Structures are given as C-alpha cells and as structure tokens.
C-alpha cells in the first residue's frame, strides 16, 4: 500500500495543528531503520509536539 497518498488524505481531513514532512532521500523502511533519517524525523516530531501539545 502506498503510504504517501494515505498521509496526504489524513492531513487534509485533520483539524487543528498539522504538518506534512517528507524525509528527503528516504524510503518508507529507511525512515524506521536508517539512523540519519530516524534522527531527523524524531527531531521534527519532538519540535512539533512541543509547539502544539505544550
């Protein structure tokens, strides 16, 4: 199942704070297994959560 269109559909339906972030150069699996991509995504998520969830 392609994940990009599922993410776009979900973000379009979401209310409140939202952000789409694509890890450049990473496949779906890379975003879970390649340290560089994992660190990048976790940093971005941490910032988003702090800004929007307090």
> Could you read off the pLDDT of 3-45 as tens digits, one per residue?
788 888 999 999 999 988 888 888 889 988 999 999 999 999 9
Q: In degrees to the nearest 10, what's the CA dihedral of 40, 25, 31, 19?
A: 60
Q: Is residue 53, in this structure, part of any structural domain at all?
A: yes
Provide the pLDDT for residue 2: 59
Q: Which of 18, 2, 24, 52 is nearest to 10 (CA)?
A: 18
Helices and strands of the chain, counted as H and E runs: 3, 0
Does some domain include residue 6? no
pLDDT of residue 13: 94
Q: Is residue 44 domain-resident?
A: yes
Residue 8 lies in a domain: no
Residue 48 pLDDT > 70 = yes
**Considering its fold, how many domains does the chain have in total?**
1
Question: With 60 as the cut, is the pLDDT of residue 50 above it?
Answer: yes
What range does the domain containing 48 cover? 26-54
Using DSSP's 3-state secondary structure scheme, residue 24 falls into coil
In the prediction, which pLDDT does 20 show?
85
- How many Cα atoms are found within 13 Å in the side-chain-facing hemisphere of 22? 9
In a domain, 20, yes or no: no
Query: Is residue 40 in some structural domain?
Result: yes
- What local confidence, expressed as pLDDT, does residue 1 receive? 46
The answer to whether position 34 is within a domain reads yes
7 inside domain:
no
């Amino acid at each position: 199942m392609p994940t990009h269109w599922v993410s776009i559909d979900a973000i379009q339906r979401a209310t409140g704070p939202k952000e789409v972030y694509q890890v450049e150069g990473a496949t779906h699996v890379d975003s879970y297994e390649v340290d560089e991509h994992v660190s990048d995504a976790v940093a971005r998520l941490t910032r988003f959560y702090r800004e929007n969830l307090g």
